[in-house]
Structure 1
């Protein structure tokens, strides 16, 4: 290996995609990973809450009933919070990190907290908007309305 060449953390095969908009498949895989993360977090919270109830009152303990509507609302709230925090701090969720993606604003930099919150709400309440990114411009409805893009970015740290 030559020592005078700069070392890049981006794999040679991926360098041609660095900074380009991501398509439907990559974004969908990242979304599924994020969905799994949120469901595992909600289940862990449920088990933890029941464990605490057991410690407080072990003799009369029964698992709390998991009703569908509160469960769905909890998952949607946790998903919104997860997306908002991840996009406003690093521009990427865990799924985005694994797939080499980052959400950026019009300037190509990380989105601000307001745009991150609006995008999180928009993605949770209207997930079918993602399907528009299968088109030539690779912008989802959320991207089009809020002026964001999901790009390939394998580097750590803020976008450049």
Structure 2
């Protein structure tokens, strides 16, 4: 990485650039992502209420969402959000806030299939990320299964070592 690129990275963070992220950073990023998805879910509910009110104002009643539908939609939104974020940018909003990027084991960008598989495993088995607390290379169970890594990266774009193309997996 060239010195001009690193000028945008805080001096204190430069030594961590490219290092594997630990469990605290990953959990903090996951909490931010869960809040983003929850906000999207609340926004969708508000939009549904608004549309139903406009279409049937006289017989309008507030919809009562069931817990099952709420959890199902939350997981669906989470998988879609994480898949698109990791595939397109290599990071979600939570990852961006905490300065990490999800990469393939060799440092490249994730393809659509691997992004989707990682999103599904993270949504349905979030406890798997805790494995990075005991793994000496700070890899979660998702990282081990899908050959991915989560590294500190404060640069606004994927670094040059990652290449420019997207792979299929």
TM-score, structure 2 normalization:
0.90
Which residue of structure 2 lines up, in the alignment, with residue 121 of structure 1? 120
Q: How does 1:109-148 map to 2 (within 5 A)?
A: 109-135=108-134, 136-148=136-148
- Secondary structure at the aligned position of 2:102 is classed as strand
* Aligned Cα root-mean-square deviation (Å): 1.1
Deviations 1:68-117 (A, max 9, x none): 00110000000000000000000000000000000000220111111000
Which residue of structure 1 lines up, in the alignment, with residue 165 of structure 2? none
Q: Output the CA distance in 2 between the equivalents of 1:13 and 1:97.
A: 17
Q: Output the CA distance in 2 between the equivalents of 1:42 and 1:101.
A: 25
Runs of 4+ in structure 1 deviating by more than 4 angstroms, as ranges, are: none
Which residue of structure 2 lines up, in the alignment, with residue 95 of structure 1? 94
Q: Output the CA distance in 1 between the equivalents of 2:28 and 2:154.
A: 16
Which residue of structure 2 lines up, in the alignment, with residue 159 of structure 1? 159
Q: Output the CA distance in 2 between the equivalents of 1:159 and 1:80.
A: 25
Q: Output the CA distance in 2 between the equivalents of 1:11 and 1:78.
A: 33
Q: Output the CA distance in 2 between the equivalents of 1:144 and 1:9.
A: 31
Q: Output the CA distance in 1 between the equivalents of 2:106 and 2:23.
A: 22
Which residue of structure 2 lines up, in the alignment, with residue 65 of structure 1? 64
C-alpha contact (below 8 Å) 1:130/1:140 kept by paired residues:
yes
Matched residue count: 156
C-alpha contact (below 8 Å) 1:21/1:151 kept by paired residues:
yes
- Gaps in structure 2 of 5+ consecutive residues: 161-169
Q: How does 1:46-65 map to 2 (within 5 A)?
A: 46-65=45-64
C-alpha contact (below 8 Å) 1:110/1:159 kept by paired residues:
no
Which residue of structure 1 lines up, in the alignment, with residue 37 of structure 2? 38
- Secondary structure at the aligned position of 2:16 is classed as coil
Q: Output the CA distance in 2 between the equivalents of 1:140 and 1:27.
A: 10
